[in-house]
Amino acid sequence: MNNNYDIARAWVADGCPRLRIESREDLEAARTIHRAACEVMRAEGPASGVDAGRLNELESDIGYAGDRHWTFQWKIIAGAILSVVLLYWWSGSKEEDVAAQKAKVGMVEAWQKGDTIVAIEAFKGGAELFSWDNRLQSASLYKGYKLQLKARDYYGVQYNIDSYLRDAQITSDPEKKERYLKKAEEYKAKQPENEKKYLDEYNEIAAMDFEAIRDMALQETGTRLKAEEGSRGTVNFWFWFLVICTPLYIFACRPYGYSLTRHAVEAETLNAIHRFGMWASGGLVGASAALHFTTIITKWSDGTTTKSDDGMGPVIGVLKILLIVAAVIVFCFTCCVIMAYATVTGLIRNYDWKAIFGRLSGKAPAASPAAAS
């Protein structure tokens, strides 16, 4: 009883302050003070100096700190679910991209021997003799397309010089004129070096046999295939991460009250980030809604009227879609980042895993209600 008297007297001497409970140790200390103050108050009554109101506040704070509280937010769960749906759709699209790229690799592997001989002069003036779309159909078409690219670089040297000289003649701005002429001189000074470089590269490709051309095409298509497979793997990872993380988020967001008090500043920061993300997403949706088509009403001499837009209809339509897509991305990204952070920190802070695993294995007694910190 003397020890309880000492504890209660010390609390009363401090003015019965409201205790900030931020850990399991703080919680146990507050419970000890509460028990001691109650015993002294029962023994001495008003003469004990214990403030009954502060004692009730302490009891309430202990109850809050010792209980678990659900802190997950339905908006974040909704954002994660929407992300899962979008990633599922994107994953299907990535599967199609990988299959299409595998088909291109197979097309190159099935090439029959063939060759293309084209003089560089055939591409003068920007002639398009080969197409990017069908370049992988045969070795001849692929080689011709690669030669066309190098010829474009070769003739592009003179084209850039002529373009700057033409701009210098057209403009009436002295500063722009001087800048254009300077750029033309710079390109002209490097013209022999650049033309020789591109011509050598052209001749190098022209001298390649079937095997060398096929190896070049396989390297290009194989690199693209690896990129598509890597992209598919990334999408699948985030899809399954969110599928697993969503229920874990709910489970993790059940801290004790004292943990909420300790990390109150962090929680406010996360809430501010969440509010900003929601504000930005809502702002993008609002901007999309604010875009309107301009309707032009024409009244003819016979009294009839017709309505038409100002020609910006398709552009505005695309902008509306892009703004809505951006709003969805911002919303989902914000929710997923907060969910991932809250899940990881919640699982670490809100559960005593050593005690849990020990209890499951039968090697440790059950943890106390305030075991997690």
Q: What is the pLDDT of residues 302-326, one digit of tens each?
A: 667 766 665 566 778 888 889 999 9
Return phi, psi of residue 260, to 5°: -60, -40
Average pLDDT estimate for 163-186 = 91
Q: Model pTM greater than 0.85?
A: no
CA distance 335 to 329: 10
Write the pLDDT tens digit of every residue in 253-303.
Answer: 999 999 999 999 999 999 999 999 999 999 988 888 887 766 666 666 666
Q: What is the pLDDT of residue 5?
A: 76
* Sequence letter at residue 136: L
Average pLDDT estimate for 28-33 = 90
Q: What is the pLDDT of residue 156?
A: 93
**Count of CB atoms situated within 10 Å of the CB of 16:** 20
C-alpha R_g of the chain: 37
Structure tokens that stand for 99 in this block = 């299959």
Average pLDDT estimate for 346-371 = 72
Beta bridge partners of 306: 298
Percentage above 70 pLDDT, the chain: 91
Longest dimension (CA), the chain: 111
pLDDT over threshold 80, residue 327: yes
Q: What is the pLDDT of residue 290?
A: 82
Mean pLDDT of the chain: 87
Q: Which of 132, 150, 128 is nearest to 142 (CA)?
A: 132
